[in-house]
Structure 1
Amino acid sequence: MLLHGRMTNADRAALRAEADAVLARLVGDPAGAARLREDQWTAIEALVAQKQRALVVQRTGWGKSAVYFVATSLLRARGSGPTVIVSPLLALMRNQVEAAARAGITARTINSSNPEEWDAVRGEVAAGAVDVLLVSPERLNNPDFRDKVLPALSAATGLLVVDEAHCISDWGHDFRPDYRRLRTMLAELPAGVPVLATTATANARVTADVAEQLGTGAGTGTLVLRGPLDRESLSLHVLRLPDAAHRLAWLADHLDELPGSGIIYTLTVAAADEVAAYLRQRGHPVASYTGRTEDAERRQAEDDLLANRVKALVATSALGMGFDKPDLGFVVHLGSPSSPIAYYQQVGRAGRGVDHAEVLLLPGKEDEAIWQYFASVAFPPEELVRRTLDVLARSERPLSLPALEPLVELRRTRLETMLKVLDVDGAVRRVKGGWTATGRPWEYDTERYAWVAGQRAAEQQAMRDYAATDGCRMEFLRRRLDDGEAAPCGRCDNCAGPRFDDRVAGAALDAARGELGRPGVEVEPRRMWPTGLAAVGVDLRGRIPQGEQPYTGRALGRLSDIGWGNRLRPLLAPGAPDTEVPRDVLDAVVTVLADWAKGPGGWVSGAQDAPRRPVGVVAMVSRARPRLVGSLAAGIAEIGRMPLLGSVAYAQDGTEAPPLSRTNGAQRVRGLHGALTVPQDLSAATAGAGGPVLLVDDLAESGWTLAVAARLLRGAGAEGVFPLVLAVQA
C-alpha cells in the first residue's frame, strides 16, 4: 500500500476498513459494526497516509481520542515509532491507558503521580514495548527529561499528539507555560512525523495561533478540522437563588431528581469541602475532588463516579477537563466560572453517551470576589521580573525556587510560573540545581499582558451576560467560541422554558444555614521558618522552637467560604471603612471561642496535655483597621472577663508601617523581624498574667505575622499564645 503520497481508491478503502476494525476493538464492538465518521476518517487519513500536521477543534464527545488511537494502531503496524501524547489531565491519562488496552494498544504514562514508575517506563519505551506514551507538560522542561529523554523520544516518535491544545496559546483562557516547550519539540521532529493537536475550546484567534505554532518546522501548512460545537444532549439552565444557604438547600432537595450521576463544580477548595460535607449530612453519597485531594483519594473518587457508587463529585477545576464518563448525567456549577470558554469546557463532560443531560448554573454574589482574587495572581509587573532576572544574573550558581524565593517579592507558585514563561522566552533556563539567567535580551510585553487582562475582564462580563440573557444559552456559548453555525438550541430554559423552580424545603434550608453559619476554622501555626532567611539578613532557620510557636489558632471563617466568607469579605476588603466590629461578628467569634474551649485539645477538654485557659487578650497592631481589631479585642476581653493587656506594636515611630510582602514568606518575615515589638507595659502585663494569652487580629494571609508576634510574646514571658483572627485568606 502506498502511503505518504497519492493513494489508489483500493488502497484507501483497505486503509479505511483497517481503521474501522481498530475502532470496533476500541469501543468494545465484537460484531465489528462500528464505523468512523467521515470527519474522523479525514483526520486519520491525513495523519497516516499523508503524514500531515492537523488541528482538530471539535466538541467534547466528538471522538478525538479515537482519532489518535486508531492512527497509532495503523502507524505502528507500518513500523512507526510510539505515539507521544502530551496531556495535562491525570484523570484522563488513566482513562486513556484503559481505553488503549481495549484496542490492543500498550500505553504508559510519565507524570507527577507516578515518579516511582518513570525508570521502568523509559526502559519499556526504549525496548519498543510501548505504543503510546502519555506525558504531562511539566515533564517537557524537567532538565533530565528535556536533555536525556526528549531528544531520543523526538527522534523515534511516530506520532505526536497535543491534547488540550488551547493551552499552547497565549490568547487561550487556560494558557500553560509548560506547553510552549512544544515549540522546540515540534521544530526538532524528523521530517514526515505527523502531529495531531486536539481541543474542544478554541475560538478563532486561538485556533489560528495554535495552527501557526503546529506548522513550526513542517514543510506544509496545518490541516484545521473545526466542527460545530452544539451538544444536542445538553439542556442548559440558570437558576438564581437568594444566597448560599438557598443554593445548598436547593441541591439537597433536588440532587436526586437529576439524571444519573454527575459533577458539582465549585470555585474554591473550601467551598468544595463545605458542599460535600453538607450533602453527605443530608444523606447524599458524594465525594470532594480538589487540587488538595491526595492522589489515592482522587483515584478512588474517579472510580466511584465511573461505577455510579456516588451521586456526584463535588469538584474544583482540578477535574475541569480530565474526566471521561460518557453517561455523566448532569453538571451543576455552584458559582460561576469567570470564562464562558472554561464553562463550556466543563459542562462538556456531561451527556457524551446519553441522549439527555442537565446543565445548571447557580451563580452567587461571592463569584466576582473570587474572580478578582485569581486575577490578582496574573503575570507579575515588570519591576519584579527585572529583579528576578538581576538576582539570577548576579548568582554564580543556579538558584532553586526555595533559594530564589527569599530574594524576590513573589510567592513560590507565582514565581515558578513566571520563570517558565521567561524560559520559553529564552531569558532563563532550568538546569540541574535550579534556574540560571541566559543573558539574552528580554522585553516585557506590556501590550500582550494588557490585552490578556482586558480579555479576562471581557470574559467575566460575558459570564454576567450569559446568566442574564433571555436568548438561547447554547447559542451564546457557541458564539463566544466563534462557532459560525451557532443557532438556537430549542432545549435550554430560555428556548423551552424552565424545568427547575426555586422552591426549597424549610428543613433543608435550616440545615444549610446551620452548616454555613457554623463559625470557626483551625489556623495551623507556622512550624518552620522560610528557607533562605540568612540571604536577606535574618538569622532564623529550620524548625521554630516549640517554646516560640503559638498554639493552633482559630478563625471565624475563610474569605473563600460561601458561608462566613460572604460576611467577612466586605468587612476586610482593601479600602473598606475601618469600623467597630459588628455585633453579629463579635457574637460569632464568641461562639468560636466557646467551641474551641470545649473541643479536642481545648482548655476545658479535660485532656491531660490540654493548655491552660487564656488569662488575657493581646491585640495586633493594625494600620489599616485599628478600630476593627481594637474593638474586637476589647469585646472579647469584656465578654470573656479577661484583661485587655495591650497591643503588639511597630518598633519605629511614625505613621507608616514597614513594607511587607503579601506573597513571599521570607520577605514577609524579613519585614516583620525587628519591626514588631512588645512594648514595656505589655511585656510586664504578659509576664505577670500567669497563663497563656489570646492574640487577636483581623486577617491571617500567610501566618507569618502571627508566628513572629507569638515568638515575641513568648520571649516576653507569655506561657502560651492562642491566635484568634476574623478570617484566613485560604
Structure 2
Amino acid sequence: MRNDVTSPIDREEAEAALRLLAGDTARLREDQWTAIEALAVHRRRALVVQRTGWGKSAVYFVATALLRARGAGPTLIVSPLLALMRNQIEAAERAGIRARTINSANLHEWQEIQAEIANGVVDVLLISPERLNNPDFRDEVLPKLASEVGLLVVDEAHTVSDWGHDFRPDYRRIRTFLADLPPRVPVLATTATANARVVADVAEQLGTGDGSDALVLRGTLDRESLSLHVVQLGSPEERFAFLAEQLPNLPGSGIIYTLTVAATDEVATFLRSRGFEVASYSGRTEDAERRQAEADLLGNRIKALVATSALGMGFDKPDLGFVVHLGAPNSPIAYYQQVGRAGRGVDHAEVLLLPGREDRAIWKYFASLAFPPEDQVRQTLDALAAAGRPLSTAALETQVDLRRSRLETMLKVLDVDGAVRRVKGGWVSTGEPWQYDGERYARVAAAREAEQRSMIEYETTDECRMTFLRRQLDDPAIEGPCGRCDNCTGVHWKAHVNAGVVDAAGSHAKRAWVTIQPRRQWPTGMSAFGVAVKGKIPAGELAAEGRALARLTDLGWGSALRDLLGSGVPDQPVPPQLLDAMVNVLKHWAGGDGSGPAWSETGRPASIVTIASRRRPRLIASLAEGVSQIGRLPIAGSVDRARDDGHTGPTNSAWRLRSVYDAFDLGPQLRERLAECPGPVLLVDDLVDSGWTMTVAARLLRQAGAPAVLPLALALAG
C-alpha cells in the first residue's frame, strides 16, 4: 500500500480497480467517475440518488481502493441489512478489498475483527445503523474509527429521513459521527428511493447541504427491463391459485413479497404443496436459514423466495427474473424500491402486483406505530429523570403505556435528539431540554396517508405505471410512457384462475390453526403497580399450549375474522362456517384424524369455561355452545369480571396485566361445576392479543384444581 495521499488519481487507475470488481469488460460511466472523483480526488461529500443497478457499490469500492492505495484509513459502510452486507463483502473480496462486518449475527467474531481494524488490515468495515448506539461499540470502537476512517458510506440513506418510507432513527446518529470526522474525510450517501423532500432532508442530516462542498448526483429512475402489471383478484384463495398457475410462466427465479411474516409461511407452504421449490424469508427466520435461502436463490436452486420487506433493500441478484407482490406496500416509493431488485442484469423482468382487501388493515397497523403523543413522551422523560439510574425498556413499560416496539423507537428518537442516552443497563436522562415537534410529526403522518392514497391510485391508474412511480419519486428526467407496462401495451395477465386450484388454495389456507403460546414469565417491575408477581409463572399455574383458528392478518380465515371481530362490528353468534372450522381445529388438536395421540399431553377436556366479554358475549356464548354440542362437553360456566377498569385498545404487557390481574373471579357456581367435572378445562375466548387475560383466567382455574387449562380462541391479534 502506498502511503502517499498526494499522488494523483486518474480515471485509468479507477477503471483498473473497477475491472477487478466487475470483470475485464467493465467500464465506468461518466456519472460514476464524477462521483468517484468527488470522493477520492477532491475529498468531498456526495449524495447519490440513482436507480437500483446503477452501480452505487462500484463507486464506493473503487473509491476505497484508490484511497487505501494512498494510505487512507478503512472505509466504514453503514448498511441496513445483513443480506446486503453479505453481498457487499463478496463483491469487495472479488476486488481484493478485505471487508468485515460487525453485526448481531457474528458476536463471536467481534474481538478478532476489532483487532484486525487496529492492525490496519481491514479495508472496509460494514455495520448496521443500530451498532452506532451499542454502548460498547459506541464508546470503545467508534471513536478510534472516527479518527482513522478514510471514507464514510451511508447506504440506503433515505432511511435517515423520517419523511422516508423506511425511517430508522439509528441512522440519524451518523450526524454525531460526522462531527467527529477529521477534515477532508469524504462522505458518500446513496439511495435509489428518495423524492425531493427526502433528498433535501438527507442532505441536511448528513451535512451535505453546503453547495460549496457537496455533490448531489441524481439520475433517471427509469428501469428499461421492468414490465409492470397489476392483477386484480377477489380473494386470497384466488391470489394463491394465480401464483400456482402462473409461477411456471414467470422468467427465471424471483421474489414473492408478502406484507406479514405469517403470510410468507402460508404462501411458501402452499406453493411447495403444488410442487414448487420455494423458501420463506422474514425477520423471524434464523440467520443460517436466511443464508441458505439467499444462496439457493442466487444459485437458481429455487423458483422463488417468499419474503417480507426484510429482504427489500438487502439482496443483489442481477438476473432476478420477476418480483410479485401478494399485497401492496403502503407507499409507491417502497414498492419501487422492492421491484428494483428485479431485472438488473437481464433485458426483461416481470413485475406483478396482486393487491388484497386486507392491505389497508395491515397499513393501519403499521401506522399505529407512529411517534407517540407528547404526554406519553413526557412520562418517559420524567420517569428516567426521577430514577437517577439506568432503566431498561421493560422497566419503563410500567411507567408509560406503550407497546415495546413503539417505546423502543421513541427512545431511539429521543436518544438522537439528545434527551436520553443508551447505556449499559438501559436508558438514562441527559437532562438536556427537549421540544416536542408536534407539527412535524403531524406532517409526517399526513405524508404517510398521502402515500397510501397514491398506492391505491397506482393500483387503478390507466396511465403508464413506470411514469407514475417515477413521478412519486420526483424523477427529473421523465420523458414519456415506458412502453412496457400493462397500461402501455394493453397486454394483461389473465385474472381468471382454475376453480379447482382455487378450491385447493382455499382448503390449504383454511386447513390449519395457529398455536397460542402460553405466557411463562411475568412482566418486569409489576410491584410498581402493587401487583406482587415476578419471574417465572409457576408450572402449576400455567396454561397449556392452546389453539386459535387464525391470526387476524392471515390470508385464509383472516378476512372473515376481521369482519367478525373488527371495531364497531355488532355482537352476533359465530357464523356456521367459522364454527365448522373451529370444530376442525379441535379434531386435529385432539388427534381425531389419526395424526397423533388425542390431547397428547393434557388429556381430553372434561368441561368448557368461557371468559366473560364486555363487547361480544353472544359470540363467545355461541362458540362455546357449538363446541359443547359437537364435542359433547358440558359448559361449566364463565370466568366473570370482578371489576372493570374500562381499559381497551393497544397496551403493553405490564399495563395489560395490571388491568386484568385481579379483574376476574370464578364464583361459587363455577367452582361447584368444576368439582363435578374434574379434569382439564377448555378455556374459550374470542380474541387473544397480549395473552394476559387468558393467562390470568387459566391461573385462577389451575388454582381451583384444574389439572390443565387448554386455551381456545377464534383469533390471534397478530
- TM-score bucket (shorter structure): over 0.9
Q: What's the secondary structure of 2:10's corresponding residue?
A: helix
Partner residue, 1:309: 301
Secondary structure at the residue paired with 1:686? Answer: helix
In structure 2, relative to structure 1, the CA distance for the partners of 1:407 and 1:688 (3 Å cut) is farther
Q: Which residue among 99, 106, 109 is the counterpart of 1:114?
A: 106
SS in 1 for 2:579: helix
The percentage of counterpart residues that share the same residue type is: 66
Inter-CA distance 600–524: structure 2 relative to 1 (3 Å threshold): farther
Alpha-carbon contact 2:3-2:70 (below 8 Å) kept: no
Contact 1:186 1:216 in 2 (8 A): no
Give the residue type in structure 1 aligned to 2:609. Answer: V
Question: 1:657 deviation in Å?
Answer: 4.2
Structure 1: distance between partners of 2:693 and 2:214: 55
What is the CA deviation profile of residues 173-220 of structure 1, one whole-angstrom value per residue up to 9, with x for unaligned ones? 111100010010111111110000000000001111111222279794
**Inter-CA distance 629–432: structure 2 relative to 1 (3 Å threshold):** same
CA apart distance, 1:498: 2.1
1:524-543 map, 5 Å? 524-543=517-536
Q: Distance in 1 between matches of 2:159 and 2:271?
A: 34
Alignment of 1:218-237 (within 5 A): 220-237=212-229
- How far apart, CA to CA, are the structure 2 residues paired with 1:707 and 1:329? 48
Query: Does the Cα contact within 8 Å between 1:286 and 1:314 map onto a contact in 2?
Result: yes
Does the Cα contact within 8 Å between 1:4 and 1:51 map onto a contact in 2? no
Q: 2:441 aligns with which of 449, 456, 462?
A: 449
AA partner of residue 505 (structure 1): N
**Pair 1:549-2:537 in alignment:** no
Distance verdict in 2 for CA 1:606–1:554, change over 3 Å: closer
Give a deviation string over 1:362-389, Cα, whole Å, max 9, x none: 0111111111111112111222111111
Taking the aligned partners of 1:498 and 1:3, their CA distance within structure 2 comes to 59
Amino acid at match of 1:567: A
* 2:637 paired residue number: 646
Q: Is the 8 A contact 1:290 1:317 kept in 2?
A: yes
Aligned partner of residue 303 in structure 1, secondary structure: helix
Deviation of 1:600 (Å): 10
* CA distance, structure 2, for counterparts of residue 582 and residue 688 of structure 1: 31
1:513 to 506, 511, 514: 506
* Aligned: 1:690 with 2:673: no
After the TM superposition, which of the residue ranges 216-225 and 85-94 deviates more from structure 2? 216-225
Aligned to 1:706: 694
Q: Which moved more, 1:579-588 or 1:464-473?
A: 579-588
Deviations 1:319-371 (A, max 9, x none): 01100000000000000000000000000000000000000000111111111
* Paired residue secondary structure (1:566): helix
Aligned equivalents of 1:429 and 1:217: distance in 2?
Answer: 27
CA distance in structure 2 between the partners assigned to 1:720 and 1:230 by the alignment: 61
Note closer, same or farther for the CA distance 1:319–1:157 as it changes in structure 2 (3 Å cut). Answer: same
Partner of 1:628: 619
TM-score (normalizing by structure 2): 0.97
Q: 1:414 aligns with which of 406, 415, 422?
A: 406
Is contact 2:5–2:71 with CA below 8 Å preserved after alignment? no
Moved more, 516-525 or 700-709: 516-525
> Does the alignment pair 1:264 with 2:249?
no
Further displaced range: 671-680 or 326-335: 671-680
Question: Using a 3 Å threshold, how does the CA distance of structure 1 residues 217 and 713 change in structure 2: closer, same or farther?
Answer: same
CA shift digits 1:426-459 (9 cap, x unpaired): 1111112110111222222111111111111111
1: distance between equivalents of 2:211 and 2:318?
38
* Structure 2: distance between partners of 1:584 and 1:606: 24
1:246, distance to aligned residue in structure 2 (A):
0.8
Which 5+ residue runs of structure 1 have no aligned equivalent? none
1:28 alignment partner AA: G
Q: Is the 8 A contact 1:187 1:218 kept in 2?
A: no
- Assess if the C-alpha contact under 8 Å between 1:683 and 1:717 holds in 2: no
Q: What per-residue deviation string (whole Å, max 9, x for no partner) do you get for residues 258-314 of structure 1? A: 011000000001111000000000000000000100000000000000000000000
Of residues 78, 82, 86, the one that matches 2:78 is 86
Q: CA deviation at 1:402?
A: 2.3
Distance between the aligned counterparts of 1:121 and 1:219, measured in 2? 37
Q: Distance in 2 between matches of 1:171 and 1:516?
A: 36
Check whether the contact 2:421–2:430 (CA below 8 A) recurs between aligned residues.
Answer: yes
**Aligned pairs (5 A) from 1:608-627:** 610-627=601-618
The answer to whether the aligner puts 1:677 opposite 2:665 as a matched pair is yes
Alpha-carbon distance change, 469 to 75 in structure 1, aligned in 2, over 3 angstroms:
same
Once residues 539 and 165 of structure 1 are traced to their aligned partners in structure 2, the CA distance between those partners, rounded to angstroms, is 47
Distance 1:610 1:493, change over 3 A: same
Where 1:56 maps in the other structure, the secondary structure is: strand
Q: Compute the displacement of 1:639 (Å).
A: 2.5
* Structure 1 residues 104 and 512, CA gap change in structure 2 (3 angstroms): same
Greater shift in the superposed pair: 716-725 or 173-182: 716-725
CA distance in 1, matches of 2:250, 2:649: 47
How far the C-alpha of 1:615 sits from its partner, in A, is 1.8
Letter in 2 for 1:341: I
Distance 2:231 2:648 in 1: 42
**In the alignment, which residue of structure 2 is the partner of 1:403?**
395
After the TM superposition, which of the residue ranges 206-215 and 235-244 deviates more from structure 2?
Answer: 206-215
Write out per-residue CA displacement over residues 92-115 of structure 1, whole angstroms, 9 at most, x where no aligned residue. 100111100111100000111111
2:193 alignment partner, one of 193, 196, 201: 201
Q: Choose 19-28 or 582-591, whichever is displaced more.
A: 582-591
Match for residue 463 of structure 1? 455
> Cα–Cα, structure 1 residues 181 and 376, in superposed 2: closer, same or farther, change >3 Å?
same
Question: Structure 1 length as normaliser, TM-score?
Answer: 0.95
Report if aligned partners of 2:175, 2:205 keep a CA contact under 8 Å in 1: yes
Q: Matches of 1:492 and 1:553 in 2, distance apart?
A: 47
The aligned length equals 716
Contact kept in structure 2, 1:409 and 1:661, CA below 8 Å: no
